[in-house]
Every structure is written in C-alpha cells, then in structure tokens.
C-alpha cells in the first residue's frame, strides 16, 4: 500500500542546488482515489503556508490512475493552490494524460512543465531563467 501508516503524508520538502522544492509524491497510488485525495489535501495545506508565487513544486504521478473523479479533485486543488506556486514540474505525463493535464491547466490557470526525468525536472525548477 502506498500510504504511510498513521495518515502521514508522503509529500515532503527536498533541496536541489540549494533551493527548496515541495515534492508532491503521488507515485504508486494506483486506483486508491481516497488516499490520493487525502495526500493532495495535505499537500495543498502546505502550499497555503507559502508566500504567493514562491513555491517550486515537483509532482510525480507515475503508477497512479487518474480517473475522472481524481481529475476533478486535481483541477479544484490546483485552482486553489495556484496563487502560491511559482513553477510546477510533473513526472509521469504521457499519452492521454497530457490532454488531462491541459484541462487542469485551463481550469486552474496554472502552467505545468512535464518531464520524464526527475533530475531534469528539478534542474528546470531551480533555473531562474526558465
């Protein structure tokens, strides 16, 4: 099971090249939409604590089923948290998932960059010229 026992969130702060990145760890949730929703709610609470336009976010959705129910919540969550986010990179977006991500972007007004490689995503996040 993906969830950490006791309801503790998987998402966490990481540091890359001296800059803090909030890693939203949605890796491996499969079809566990309730657990995924709980993780997103906890991650959203962290975002609200950050100054507007300051948050660097790396989100990993590999091995997670993005059902219509999950996508609805992701759209709403992104729309609520977008004013806190400076840049967001997402790992695990391929095929139809790109269409779903485009819908989230239109709904929330937030722009996302997609990557296949975690290190490339972290480099992009901390690069002030991108």
The CATH superfamily of 8-126 is STAS domain (3.30.750.24)
Cα dist. 104→26, 71, 98 in Å? 16, 8, 10
Q: The pTM is what? A: 0.83
Mean pLDDT, range 80-100, rounded to an integer: 82
What's the mean pLDDT in 10-18?
96
The pLDDT, as a whole number, for residue 81 is 86
Residue carrying the six token digits 């995503």? 121
**Which of these ranges, 5-9, 58-62, 76-80, has the smallest mean pLDDT?**
5-9
Judged by average pLDDT, the poorest of 42-51, 63-72, 97-106 is 97-106
More confident of the two residues 17 and 105: 17
3-state secondary structure string across 23-76: EEECCCCECCHHHHHHHHHHHHHHHHCCCCCCEEEEEECCCECCCHHHHHHHHH
Mean pLDDT calculated for residue range 50-69: 89
């Amino acid at each position: 099971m993906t969830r950490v026992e006791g309801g503790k969130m998987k998402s966490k702060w990481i540091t890359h090249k001296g800059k803090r990145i909030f890693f939203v760890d949605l890796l491996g949730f499969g079809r566990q939409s309730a657990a995924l929703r709980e993780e997103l709610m906890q991650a959203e609470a962290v975002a609200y604590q950050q100054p507007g336009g300051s948050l660097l976010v790396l989100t990993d959705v590999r091995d997670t089923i993005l059902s219509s129910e999950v996508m609805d919540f992701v759209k709403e969550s992104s729309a609520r948290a977008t004013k806190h986010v400076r840049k967001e990179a997402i790992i695990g977006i391929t095929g139809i998932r790109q269409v779903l991500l485009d819908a989230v972007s239109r709904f929330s007004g937030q722009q996302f960059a997609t990557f296949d490689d975690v290190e490339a995503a972290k480099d992009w996040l901390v690069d002030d010229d991108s």
